[in-house]
Amino acid sequence: MKPYTEMTPEELTEELAALKAKYKKVQALGMRLDMSRGKPCQEQLDLSMRMMDVLDSSSDLTCEDGTDCRNYGQLNGIIEARELIGDMMENNPKDIIIYGNSSLNVMFDVISRAYTHGIMGNTPWCRLPEIKFLCPVPGYDRHFSITEYFGIKMIPVAMSESGPDMETVERMVSEDASIKGIWCVPKYSNPQGYSYSDETVRRFARLKPAAADFRIFWDNAYGMHHLYDDRQDYLIEILAECKRAGNPDLVYKFSSTSKITFPGSGIAAVATSPNNMDDLLNHLRHQTIGHDKVNQLRHVRFFGDIHGMVEHMRKHADIIRPKFEAVEEILETELGGLNIGTWTKPLGGYFIMFDTMPGCAKDVVSRAKKAGVVLTPAGATWPYGKDPNDSNIRIAPTFPSLADLCSAMEVFSLCVKISSIKKLLQDARS
């Protein structure tokens, strides 16, 4: 079939009638498929079930340094967990604090403390007339939700395959002291699946912010989430690069095992400079006496070391790789050559980004929902939920079964076709 953009209005009208008839048949099937969030599927969760057996009532819960994991203490986490997560994050264990199960919770807490008490002796953000954050777009909706909750003004910054527009980042950060941070998902980004280039990472490390309390919020959520053994993205380690650049305090680096073991029962961590570490611990000791050390030990005993975690992630990849490939194959078969959409082909992470023709995303998502397929809301990948082009849609392939996913993508492709033709006919009339 020739591209829709080259069809006459008469041809488009004929095609639309056929697609609408197909859509009615799909609606009659009564599908109930949810692709709204990037959650692990049951088979992925089953991979970690043995972790429930590594500790029992007869287990020795004493750490190498003599710490009894059943009791209070070890504010920054047990050494075994810091060593394991240090290998995962590519950071020295002494530069890591182990928290509870959620890295998102850690990010919220860091923002909250900066807001109420300030960073390293600087004025608390709540006492300043205006606070701003840079937000690479499209980006992660839950990042944007945190900053919106605290009334922080969000400024979109364009993303490319190599990362954020660094000319814009460098200029704005150096000129405006009210800009206090930037959200980053540097590897297999949410939603595109892009990984920052070496040059981008080095430029981040060499930023010259006007604000002494500016920080890069480096959410390396997908550092080990490769789809292929022989094709993987690699990322320069940001803390080492910042230290080399003379900017050791510039970054908070976050990670967790949420999509490695159990999202509700993993362990989260932040890696940062000694100065930032002292600042965080000075606040944290007022909040808790220590996080769940039994769970930290459980993870250590389950994986053994980083090699055990790498093998575990290969099993994850074997489960989700066919799903990513199925999405790409269906999109190519159904929409390739029609000139009505583009999509990414990531080598890892949890998402595929789809861009419709301008003005079609909300209609596609709404139409899919009426046919029984729930997608991430259109606009969610932009601050305040406002995509100026109404074109970006995040596809989350991991949670549904392969069969359900294929059905959902057939419906999605059908909805893209209908919305695109309606837009082309509307444009032709105007």
All structural domains of the chain with their residue ranges: 4-44+310-429, 61-304
Q: Give, in words, the CATH class of 4-44+310-429.
A: alpha beta
- Please give the pLDDT value at position 1: 80
Report the alpha-carbon distance of residue 11 to residue 339 in Å, rounded.
15
pLDDT digits (tens, 9 = 90+) for 82-113: 999 999 999 999 999 999 999 999 999 999 99
Residue with tokens 């953000």: 125
Contacts for 31 with CB less than 8 Å, ≥ 6 apart: 371, 372, 373, 407, 408, 411
Beta bridge partners of 217: 183, 252
Q: How far apart are CA 126 and CA 215, in angstroms?
A: 16
Residue 52 neighbours by CB under 8 Å, 6+ apart: none
The residues pairing with 343 across neighbouring beta strands, listed in sequence order, are 354
Q: In this structure, how many other beta carbons lie within 10 angstroms of the beta carbon of residue 368?
A: 25
What does 31-57 look like in DSSP terms, one character per residue? Answer: --EEESS----HHHHHTTGGGGGS--T
The reported pLDDT for the residue numbered 276 is 98
Q: What is the fold, at CATH topology level, of the domain defined by 61-304?
A: Aspartate Aminotransferase; domain 2 (3.40.640)
Of all helices (H) and strands (E), which one includes residue 270? strand 268-271
The whole-angstrom distance between residue 123's C-alpha and the CA centroid of its chain comes to 30
- The pLDDT tens digits of the residues spanning 41-60 come to 999 999 999 999 999 999 99
Q: Give this prediction's pTM.
A: 0.96
Three-state secondary-structure class, residue 181: strand
Q: What is the mean pLDDT of each run of 10 residues along the chain (430 residues)?
A: 94 97 95 93 98 97 96 96 98 97 96 98 98 98 98 98 98 98 98 98 98 98 97 97 98 98 96 98 94 98 98 98 98 98 98 98 98 97 97 98 97 98 94
Identify the pLDDT of residue 94: 97
